[in-house]
Amino acid sequence: MQISYRTAWLPKNGCAIDEYEDAFSPLQATADAGKEFRCAVADGATETSFSGLWAKILCDGYVSGQTCMATLQNQWLEQVSTLNLPWYAEQKLESGAYAAFVFLSLRQEGAHISWTAEAIGDCCLFHVQDGKLVKSFPIETWQDFNNSPLLMASRADRNEEALAAVKNAGGKCKAGDLFYLMSDAISNWFLRKHAEDGDAVEALTKVKEQSALEELCAKQRTLKDSDGRALMPNDDVTVVQIAITSC
């Protein structure tokens, strides 16, 4: 299985690079993906402590095959426990960190390729085939985005509802297909543009490098709809594109 893999990301407008709280994995990939290729995007909740770290641990864990949530939660706790924090920050740590995620696995099965995905929250996967959007997961319309998605916590005692709510999807794909994994702000924008203008796939395929994403977000964050809301919310943005070049 041969793939082309590229990423682009940027923090909220007005924030420094080290304030970026999304995550993705792997950072890069070889063209020869072998029999299975895994990738992931996660979005750390800004209002919780060290959520960017938690998002990164979730992504790296999935891609490496370490999917035991208790193990990942212990990794987060071990890393934050070594930090010298003021008392109020230590108290906030008791609540843990939270993140949305979407994971994708591509598997070679003889002459065919199958895909499986799992997600919680509002990071999204988009499957494009023959230039058309054929799957949007786990959110299907832009109106379904809200300010309180269910998220995965770094604290085991806060995760019962989230673990039960993880969604799964899958199907077949072929050479020439594209998959996008994206965090919530640009996923919201993409689904709205797809519904209202019908050219969202074309617009997204033009994002082939970092500068193209920066230009796109700079424009869409300033444009307003009829209610005065920005067409793209000012949030961290991550786009991972996986193109299947051959089976």
Report the pLDDT value the prediction gives residue 3, as an integer from 0 to 100: 96
Phi, psi angles (nearest 5°) of residue 99: -155, 150
The residues facing 124 across adjacent strands are 182
Residue 149 CB neighbours (<10 A): 18
Would you state the structure tokens that stand for residue 33, as one six-digit string? 């993906």
Low-confidence spans in the chain with pLDDT less than 70:
87-92
Report the pLDDT value the prediction gives residue 116, as an integer from 0 to 100: 98
- Identify which of 207, 148, 159 has the alpha carbon closest to the alpha carbon of residue 182: 207
Determine contact, residues 124/137, Cβ cutoff 8 Å.
Answer: yes
Report the pLDDT value the prediction gives residue 91, as an integer from 0 to 100: 65
Report the pLDDT value the prediction gives residue 89, as an integer from 0 to 100: 62
- DSSP codes, 36-76: EEEEEEEEE-TTSTTHHHHHHHHHHHHHHT---HHHHHHHH
- DSSP codes, 77-123: HHHHHTS---HHHHHHHTT--EEEEEEEEEEEETTEEEEEEEEESS-
Report the pLDDT value the prediction gives residue 1, as an integer from 0 to 100: 92
Report the pLDDT value the prediction gives residue 192, as an integer from 0 to 100: 96
Phi-psi map region of 131: left, alpha, beta (phi>0 left; psi -120 to 50 alpha): left
- pTM for this one? 0.95
Determine contact, residues 108/189, Cβ cutoff 8 Å.
Answer: no
CA gap 178, 27 in Å, rounded: 18
CA gap 54, 154 in Å, rounded: 7
Report the pLDDT value the prediction gives residue 131, as an integer from 0 to 100: 95
End-to-end alpha-carbon separation of the chain, Å? 5
159-209 tens-digit pLDDT: 889 999 999 999 999 999 999 999 999 999 999 999 999 999 999 999 988
Please tell me what DSSP assigns to residue 35: T
Report the pLDDT value the prediction gives residue 48, as an integer from 0 to 100: 82
